[in-house]
A and B are shown apart, each in its own frame.
Chain A
Amino acid sequence: MTRMATHIDMKQPILDKNDRLAEENRKLFAEKHVFVLNILASPGSGKTSTILATIEALRDEFNIAVIEGDIASSVDSEKIKAQGIAAVQINTGGACHLESDMIKRAVDVLDLDELDLILLENVGNLVCPTDFDLGENAKVMILSVPEGDDKPLKYPGVFQVSQAVVLNKIDTMPVFNFDKDAFCDHVKQLNPNAPIFPISATTGEGVEAWAEWLAERVRAVQ
């Protein structure tokens, strides 16, 4: 007996489930007038330090909370809580990125009515998190000087999905052979509309301009 194969058209996004939950998150954030920033970067690029510097710059104007994504430990969320800021730790247990259902569970423990801004620190990784919508208002990526000016050439995706690029640890530029002009050229080629904010999260240099860019966007959803 010969059988014919039956063709079934699916035309279904692979990330259907993630994307639907991300849309639910986005709707909830809009209803509550909360701006959510998804922060993408490598391990050790200074995500948590940048978040702390951003909190210092904006805490007088906005109520801020932080969601920390890490494979394990609560080291980062403890640092945030020590500053008197609400923090939720997500441990992905090995997963290389955050997904929208994890965010949904994390925001359940936050009082969104009291918040203006949620800083969401993704798992340290320049690849996987770029494909996952979490329902955020914007993605930004942080690159640190010691990682090298060639990273946009090696990891184009993360620079392309980001609405802004923060270049951290600029105080270390004299000791690393970092070509800032070349870096900016590479970024401009990949993402001509993304502003680049050179900062040092530890000295505070450049943080004001970055924080003001973010503040404008937070005010816009109030």
Chain B
Amino acid sequence: MHELGLMTGVLDAVTQSAVEAGATKVLKVTLSVGEMTEAIEDCLTFAYEALTEENTLFSGSELEIHMVKPRSRCLDCGLEFDHDRFHVTCPQCGSPATQLIAGRDLRIDSIEVDIPDDADPAPAKGAPAAECA
């Protein structure tokens, strides 16, 4: 049920980037979500639809989610291997000392926006200012 909170954060960050670029419409938002996290694809999609429903910046926009498969590196034999959520030991040497290198991703990859020809984009800044709710 924390997907609503995650998606609120996504929309805040996307809105900031879009507005800074002078965009009037967000067309597409692309996320990467690791299968080792507790974020569920359907719940994220539902949250996106619910939160953007009455937001004209996002009307008609599309959410694309790339689910990232877990991948680990064995710290003993060096093998890099794909695995499911439940098996993290090295399939080659049986070592339990493995390090997850992908699968806990929770990332906004990119957005596609519509920028009017006469837009005067705000100057790009560095890191966005932290705002504490």
Contact = CB atoms under 8 A, between A and B. Distances in A.
Nearest to A132: B2
Contact of A11 (B86, B107, B131): B107
Interface in B1-46: 1-2, 5-6, 9-10, 13-14, 17-18, 21, 23, 27-28, 31, 36-39
A153 B114 contact: no
Interface residues of A, number: 37
A104 to B, nearest CB: 8
A3 B21 CA distance: 15
Interface stretch (A56-64, A72-80, A185-193, A206-214): A185-193
Contact of B13 (A16, A128, A131, A132): A16
B38 A131 contact: yes
Interface string A1-39: 001011111111111111011000000000000000000
- Where chain A touches its partner, the secondary structure class is mixed
Contact of A157 (B9, B38, B115, B132): B38
B67 interface: no
Q: Which of A9, A12, A14, A189 has the most CB of B within 10 A?
A: A14
A191 B36 CA distance: 13
Interface in B45-89: 85-89
B38 A127 contact: yes
A131 B37 contact: yes
Contact of A101 (B10, B111, B133): B133
A182 interface: no
A14 B5 CA distance: 10
A10 B21 contact: no
Contacts of A189: 86-89
In the A-B complex, the 4 residue pairs with the smallest Cβ-Cβ separation, listed nearest first, are A192-B96, A128-B2, A14-B106, A5-B112
Interface of A: 3, 5-18, 20-21, 95-97, 99, 101, 127-128, 130-132, 153, 156-157, 160, 188-193
Interface of B: 1-2, 5-6, 9-10, 13-14, 17-18, 21, 23, 27-28, 31, 36-39, 85-89, 96-97, 106-115, 130-133
18 contacts: A5-B112, A6-B23, A7-B112, A8-B18, A8-B112, A9-B110, A10-B111, A11-B107, A11-B110, A16-B13, A17-B130, A95-B5, A153-B86, A157-B38, A189-B86, A189-B87, A189-B88, A192-B88
